[in-house]
Amino acid sequence: MQGLMLRSFGVGAIVSSTSLGAGICREVAMVQGVQDLELLQKLHVGVVVHAADARVIFLNDRACDLLGISKRDMLGALDLMPGWSLQDEKGHWLSPEDYPVNRVISTRLPLAEQVLGVVRPGIEGVAWAMVSAFPVFDPRGALEKIVISFYDVSQLKRTEAVLKERAEQLRFVLEGADLGLWDWSILTGEVMRNERWATMLGYTYEEIEHTTMQWSDFVHPDDRERAWASINAVLAGRAPTHKLEYRMQHKDGSYRWILDQANVTQRDEQGRPTRMCGIHADVTERKLLEEEVARQARTDYLTGVFNRRHFMALGGAEIERARRYVSELSILMLDVDAFKRINDRYGHHVGDAVLRKLADGCHSALRSLDVFGRLGGEEFAILLPETGLAAAAEVAERLRLLLAEAQVPIEGGQVVRFTVSIGVASMSSPEDSIDTLLNTADRALYAAKHAGRNRVHTLSS
C-alpha cells in the first residue's frame, strides 16, 4: 500500500505518528529470530515485509485483520489481489507504480506517513490506513527488503468527515444569516475572521489584518471605550456575555452600525479566558429606521421642527438647567397674521408652504442651542437659553423683519407674503415652569395682535 500523510482538514488534526510508523519499520528491519517474529505478531499495528522483487515474505496477524485477507493469500504475492484498488485522500485511483512498495523500490527512499484508502472486493466502503514504508539495504548497498507498517484510521476519517460537514454547515449558516465571524486567541492576540466580516466593511478578506488593533481602529472613536468596556467585563467575569451595538468605519469612510455578540469559549486551568468567539451583524438599516421613527416621533411632519410634545419635554429640561446654573432663559411665541385668510384665498397647500417658509427662515437665524417647535396650527415657540428679555426682544424683531421679506411662490408667477406677531417672555423666578413661560408669552402675543399685528411685544413672567 502507498504511504499516506494524515493532514488537518481545517476542522481539527488527526493524530500524527511519524515516530511510531518509522520506528516500527526500522524494528522490523532488524528481525532475526522466532522470538522477534512472535513479538511482531502481537503488535496492534499491521506489518508487511516485501522482498526486493516486491514479493510478500512476512505479514503479522494485525495486518491480516486490517486488510481482511489471509496469510495464505498474501505470502508470496507480487501485487494486490484481483479487484483490489488504492486511492488517495482526494479519491484519485493510484496506478501500480505509485503503490508504496513500488515507490520505495523505484526511488530507494522511505515514504513518510500518508493516508491511503483501500477498496477490497466484496467489502463495502473504503478502509483508510496510515502507512509508512522503509527500504532495508544489505552491507553492499543493495535493496534487500521493504517494510511497511500501517494502522486503521477509518474511524478517525469518519469523525473528521463529520467535523468537516459540521464546519461546512456552520459556514452556510453564517453566510445565510449574513454574519461575520471572529475568533480571538487572547494569549497571542491573533483574531481569525471569515470573509463576511471583511466585506461587511467594504474590504476583501485579503485586505484585513487578523489583530484586535485593527478592530479597535475600525470602531468609531465615540464608541471605542464602551466597546472595550463590554468585552473586558466578560473577560473579568463581571458579565456573562458581550452584546453591544456600535459603529465601525466602512472602507468608503462612512460608518456602519454593527451588532457584536460574543462569549468566552475557552479558559485555562486557572479559569482565565484564553479564547473568545463572536459574530458581527450589520444592523445599519434597522438603526436608521429606528432613528427615523424616533425623529418622526419628536418632529412636526409638515415643517420638520420639534412637535409640541418634544418641545415641552426639552423646555422642561431647559428650565431645570437654568435653575441649576442660575442662567437666563427666554421664550418667543410666533403666530402668522391672518393665516385663515391665506388658506381661504389661496388654499391649504399655500398655507402649508407659508408655514414651511416660516420654519426655514427661523432655522436660518437661530443658534444651534435654541429650541424651536410648532405648538399647533400657525403657532410656533422658540426657547432661547442664556438669553435675557431685552436680547430676546432683539431676536424676535430680527425674525419679524426677516419673515416679512419672505416670499412664497404660487401659480402664475405670483408670490404670497406674510407677517408674524411675536410675544416675548423671560424666566424671572426659580418657581417658573415651561407652562408659566408659555402662558406669559401667549399673553404677550395676544397683546401684539391686539396692537395691530406684525409687531413684537414683551412681558416678564
Catalytic residues: 378
* Angstrom distance (rounded) from CA 458 to CA 428: 13
User: Cell for 249?
Assistant: 468605519
User: Cell for 270?
Assistant: 486557572
* Angstrom distance (rounded) from CA 226 to CA 194: 24
Of 283, 275, 197, residue with least CA distance to 245 = 283
* Angstrom distance (rounded) from CA 193 to CA 210: 7
User: Cell for 166?
Assistant: 459540521
The answer to whether the beta carbons of residues 441 and 331 sit under 8 Å apart is yes
Q: Is 271 left (phi over 0), alpha (psi -120 to 50) or beta?
A: left
Query: At 368, is the secondary structure helix, strand, or coil?
Result: coil
SS3 of 306-348: ECHHHHHHHHHHHHHHHHHHCCCEEEEEEEECCHHHHHHHHCH
* Angstrom distance (rounded) from CA 32 to CA 45: 19
263 has which bridge partners? 277
